[in-house]
Structure 1
Amino acid sequence: MVRYAEPGTVEWVESGGGPLIAVPETVLPFWTGADGEETASDYDRACEVDGLVGLLPVGDSTALVLGDEPAATAFLPEHNTLVRCIAGHSEAEVLASVPAALHTAQWQAEVHWKVPGALLLFDAAWPGTESTGTDHLRLTLTPGRYAVRAAQVQPGPETWLALVQLRPLP
Structure 2
Amino acid sequence: MVKYGNGGWEWIESGGGPLIVVPEQVLTSWQGCDFESTTNDDDYGRACEVEGYLGVIPVAHAQALVLGEPWPATYVPKHGCFVCWIAADSEDAMLGSVEQAIGEASWEAEVLWEVPGPVVLLHSGLPGVPGPDAEFDELDRLRIDLEVGRYLVRAAYATPAPRTTMVLVGLTKLSPDDSAGTTP
TM-score by structure 2 length? Answer: 0.84
Q: Which runs of structure 2 are paired with 1:1-16 in the superposition (5 Å)?
A: 5-6=6-7, 8=8, 10-16=9-15
Matches of 1:128 and 1:30, distance apart in 2:
7
Note if contact 1:73-1:85 (Cα within 8 Å) is conserved in structure 2.
yes
Query: Per the alignment, in what secondary structure is the counterpart of residue 75 of structure 1?
Result: strand
Query: Per the alignment, in what secondary structure is the counterpart of residue 71 of structure 1?
Result: coil
RMSD: 1.9
Query: Per the alignment, in what secondary structure is the counterpart of residue 141 of structure 1?
Result: coil
Alignment partner of 1:150 is 2:155? yes
For 1:54, give the aligned amino acid: G
Matches of 2:26 and 2:120, distance apart in 1:
10
| Structure 1 residue aligned with 2:99 | 99
Q: How many residues align?
A: 166
Query: Per the alignment, in what secondary structure is the counterpart of residue 121 of structure 1?
Result: strand
Structure 2 alignment gaps of length 5 or more? 131-135, 176-184
Match of 2:171 among 152, 166, 170: 166
**Which stretch shifts more, 129-138 or 57-66?**
129-138
Alignment partner of 1:72 is 2:77? no
Matches of 1:17 and 1:97, distance apart in 2:
25
TM-score by structure 1 length? Answer: 0.91
Matches of 1:24 and 1:3, distance apart in 2:
23
**Which stretch shifts more, 154-163 or 28-37?**
28-37
Matches of 1:144 and 1:4, distance apart in 2:
31
Greater RCO (Cα-Cα under 8 Å, separation 6 or more): 1
Percent identical among aligned pairs is 47
| Structure 2 residue aligned with 1:21 | 20
Distance 1:26 1:100, change over 3 A: same
CA-CA distance at 1:12 after TM superposition: 1.1
Structure 1 alignment gaps of length 5 or more? none
Distance 1:151 1:53, change over 3 A: same
Matches of 1:142 and 1:74, distance apart in 2:
18
Distance 1:61 1:108, change over 3 A: same
CA-CA distance at 1:132 after TM superposition: 4.6
Note if contact 2:109-2:156 (Cα within 8 Å) is conserved in structure 1.
no
Distance 1:41 1:4, change over 3 A: closer
CA-CA distance at 1:3 after TM superposition: 7.2
Distance 1:163 1:30, change over 3 A: same
